[in-house]
């Protein structure tokens, strides 16, 4: 499993032609306590850099962008019942949605863990 990161603080984990997407620990820390998550419906087409979901915290509401282009195959319904999973396990049980990759070459423009760590240190 390969994990990539965006400058907007999304992570994307690749398994074959399927990707799981969420926000990073850095992002949830900046947002504070998550109180609501709006997830995309299965079957929705998302494009790289386009709005895919919304996360609301006690501080602000933020868009979650699609790191790559693809078709949403599943949304994490557990977040509807317990949005705080994004705070407690942002890069695990707090994932937002899964998608089928349309263009795997789009992954080439994303950061690996080391590059993302350096990026966050300069924020």
For 47-71, what is each residue's pLDDT tens digit?
999 999 999 999 889 999 999 999 9
CATH of the domain at 22: 2.40.50.100
Question: Residue 70 to residues 9, 11, 17, 23, 45: CA-CA distances in angstroms?
Answer: 19, 15, 10, 17, 6
Residue 95 pLDDT grade (very low, low, confident, very high; cuts 50, 70, 90): very high
Q: Reduced to 3 states, what is the DSSP secondary structure of residue 67?
A: coil
Q: Mean of the pLDDT values across residues 6-21?
A: 95
pLDDT of residue 84: 95
Range of the domain at 117: 2-121
The structural domain count of the chain equals 1
Q: What is the pTM of this model?
A: 0.96
Q: Mean of the pLDDT values across residues 36-40?
A: 96
Say whether pLDDT at 36 is over 80: yes
- In degrees and rounded to multiples of 5, residue 28 shows phi and psi of -65, -30
Say whether pLDDT at 18 is over 90: yes
d(CA 21, CA 19): 6
Rg (CA), the chain: 13
């Amino acid at each position: 499993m390969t994990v990539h990161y965006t400058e907007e603080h999304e992570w994307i984990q690749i398994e074959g032609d399927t990707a799981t997407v969420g926000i990073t620990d850095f992002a949830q820390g900046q947002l504070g306590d998550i109180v609501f998550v709006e997830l995309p419906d299965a079957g929705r087409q998302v494009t790289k850099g386009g709005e895919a979901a919304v996360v609301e915290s006690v501080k602000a509401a933020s868009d979650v962008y699609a790191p790559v282009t693809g078709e949403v195959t599943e949304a994490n319904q557990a977040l509807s019942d317990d949005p705080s999973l994004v705070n407690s396990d942002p890069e695990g049980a707090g994932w937002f949605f899964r998608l089928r990759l349309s263009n795997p070459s789009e992954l080439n423009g994303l950061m690996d863990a080391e590059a993302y760590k350096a990026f966050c240190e300069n924020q």
